[in-house]
Amino acid sequence: MSAITMKNIVKKYGDGFPAVNDVSIDVEDGEFMILVGPSGCGKSTLLRMVVGLEDITSGDMLIGEKRVNDLAPKDRNLAMVFQNYALYPHLTVYENIAFPLRLAKVDDKTVDEKVREASRTLELDEHLERKPGNLSGGQRQRVAMGRAIVRDADAFLFDEPLSNLDAKLRGQMRTEISRLQKRLGITTLYVTHDQTEAMTLGDRVAVLKRGELQQLATPRELYENPGNLFVAGFIGSPPMNFLPCTVEGTKAELPFGTVEIPEDKAEKARGKGLLIAGLRPEHFEDASVVEDTGSSTFTATAEVVEWLGNETYAYLPFEAPDEMRGKLEELERDLDGEGLRTQLVVSLDGASTIKEGDEATIYVDTSKMHLFDPATGENLTVDTAKAGRIPGMEQHA
């Protein structure tokens, strides 16, 4: 077991395009680290550089204290689970799991002990003599994990291991991986594009966009203190709402009306003209179910209402000014999304009786509002002490 340290890692392909650009991540010993981002953000490339399947253009890759840049994959002592499992179809499950041990020329008795132990852990006992072709997706996934845990590897690497499973199985395997990692206490690097997996599994999460590290923090820090628009939009489901906003004194002017915001946030935003306000759906509430609304309420027409029992989602359309529309469309592209209409998604209490077409009075909790600079996407109201590491903002901290 070892820490993995990436220092200023750069990966450039033949055409000079940097797939990974100056990324530094330190994975502590025993930590569960997630690399997350939309497709094409370089997360898989980064993982493959750790394991040695891609060359590193520049920067240092350290496993433990040792620089491994020039070591072949077989000399790095890492175990990896591939997205498509990459099981050996001509070998039985038993031999698949035993494969790394056979290569290491371990004696048969030890091989048997270790394979049986791994298969017990992963509940593969009754499948040991079968070929991978006859197994279900979840079973294949477990065999791939068995092949990883059977060796005493320094770290586990997962490359989108759950993306081929159906939704229900994905949830089960997620818990399974988490439990396994906790029990073995092994350093783990896990690549995913799914923000739910990132939030639930990771001790810390590294968010990447177009080959650059955006923020490296715990899931909670990412959710509550996103460093920029991209992280804010990527983490959370339904995603954070982005509204045009101008701050005057302690009043913020939003498309639906003017609300009061706390002085410390107002201070950072004053005199900056048009800003983007970020508000999560749960920061809104039906004013009729809130006791003390203060002056932070506005009215709007609910176009669509989705009642889920425990909560209600209401969709309130608004017009964004042209200069902001461009920024939001760019953000959508970065997030792999579609340029949808500008609308506010609010999560209301299940007891709310707002119906489609109703003029609703909505309360907004502005103490959790974030304000973003529309030009740079930077979060002006970030609490740097509780935001992990945000490259480019370290000097302010």
The residues, any chain, with a CB within 8 Å of residue 291's CB and separated by 6 or more, are none
Could you tell me if 280 and 343 are in contact, meaning their C-beta atoms sit under 8 angstroms apart? Answer: no
Residue 34 or 148 with smaller CB distance to another protein = 148
Show the CA angle centred on residue 272, arms to residues 266 and 278, nearest 5°. 60
Instruction: Fill in the DSSP letter of residue 303.
Output: S
Nearest Cα residue to 215 out of 395, 7, 35, 3:
35
Binding mask 213-252 vs another protein (x if CB under 8 A, - otherwise)? ----------------------------------------
Rounded Cα–Cα distance for residues 373 and 146 (Å): 47
HSE (side-chain half, CA atoms, 13 Å) at 21: 13
Query: What is the per-residue binding string for another protein in 62-81, x denoting contact by CB under 8 A?
Result: ----------xxx---xxx-
In the complex, the smallest distance separating the C-beta of residue 75 from another protein, rounded to whole angstroms, is 9
Output the smallest distance, CB 42 to another protein, in A. Answer: 18
Site for another protein, residues 129 to 168, rule: CB under 8 A: 131-135, 137, 140, 147, 151, 164
Segment 26 to 55, residues that bind another protein, using CB under 8 A = 51-53
Task: Please identify which residue in the block is written with the tokens 């010993």.
Answer: 29
Q: Exposed, middle or buried by CB within 10 Å (0-12, 13-18, 19+), for 317?
A: middle
Question: Which residue type occupies 40?
Answer: G
Complex with another protein: residue 134 or 175, whichever CB lies closer: 134
| Distance in Å, CB of 30 to another protein, minimum | 21
Provide the minimum distance between the beta carbon of 58 and another protein in the complex, in angstroms, as a whole number: 22
DSSP sequence for 138-169: HHHHHHHHHHHHTS--SEEEEESTTTTS-HHH
Three-state DSSP state, 222: helix
By CB under 8 A, is residue 175 in contact with another protein?
A: no
The structure tokens 């930590």 sit at 31
- The structure tokens listed for 328 are 């939001």
For another protein, the closer CB: 151 or 283: 151
Q: Residues touching another protein: how many (CB under 8 A)?
A: 31
Which residue, 76 or 389, is less far from another protein as judged by CB?
A: 76
Measured from the CB of residue 293, what is the shortest distance to another protein in angstroms?
A: 52
Report the alpha-carbon distance of residue 94 to residue 36 in Å, rounded: 33
Nearer to another protein, 76 or 280 (CB): 76
At a CB cut-off of 8 Å and minimum separation 6, what does 130 contact? 92, 93
Of residues 82 through 111, those in contact with another protein by CB under 8 A are 82, 84-90, 99-100, 103-104
Give min distance, CB of 333 to another protein, in A: 26
* Shortest separation between residue 312's beta carbon and another protein, angstroms: 37
Distance CA 349, CA 342 (A): 23
If the CB atoms of residues 89 and 271 are measured against another protein, the closer one turns out to be: 89
Q: How far is the CB of 208 from another protein (least distance, A)?
A: 22
Of 48 and 280, CB closest to another protein: 48
Residues that bind another protein (CB under 8 A): 51-53, 72-74, 78-80, 82, 84-90, 99-100, 103-104, 131-135, 137, 140, 147, 151, 164
